[in-house]
Amino acid sequence: MKEACAADLKDAMEADDAARIPPLVRAVADFTLIERGAIGAGSRRAQRTLRIARLSLARRLIARHLSKPSLSPTFVADLLGVSVRYLHVLFETTGTSFSQTVAIKRMQESRRLLRETPPRPIAEIAHACGFGSLATFYRIFNACEGLTPGEFRARGSGADASSSATAAAGHLTVK
């Protein structure tokens, strides 16, 4: 779990995500203190650190299994060894639900692939990003970007529209 926090911290720093950095730094430091016995394993501070670590691990699991259309809260909760309700509680603290997180990550990956692999068929990109159907991919992509994937690719959009993906993902369901 400590490694997941450290990896999440690295990602947050690369993305310049100032809101996520301090709790992750604290969690990595607290894990070291727990390992050395300076913080009791059952203390509130240790429990808070475990919640942060589980959330980091959940994010890593989402990234690792993003291409699976069957990626679900149940799947990730089972891998973490927690209940689905607890997984949802972990994501509630971020202001972004599990489903929104998955939708945002899939959109980020699809934009990246559209920019970086122009000859790759759009259907293949949709499948690689975990969209179960091409129609769903087009609907969600168009709602987030205001363009079809083909138009996005033709424009050579280099701008990262993660804010539009975040806004649109609030009312999208990825199936």
What is the per-residue pLDDT for 2?
87
Between the alpha carbon of residue 148 and those of residues 75, 124, 172, the distances in Å are 30, 15, 16
* pTM (whole model) above 0.75: yes
Give me the pLDDT at residue 89, please: 96
Angstrom distances, CA of residue 50 to CA of 61, 136, 162: 16, 36, 28
Please report the pLDDT score of residue 118 as a whole number.
84
Q: What is the pLDDT of residue 158?
A: 54
Provide the pLDDT for residue 157. Answer: 60
Identify which of 175, 173, 143 has the alpha carbon closest to the alpha carbon of residue 161. Answer: 143
- Mean pLDDT in consecutive groups of 10 residues from the start of the chain, 175 residues: 90 91 93 92 93 94 95 97 97 94 95 92 96 94 95 75 47 44
- Give the contacts of 4 (CB within 8 A, at least 6 positions apart): 53, 56, 57, 59, 60
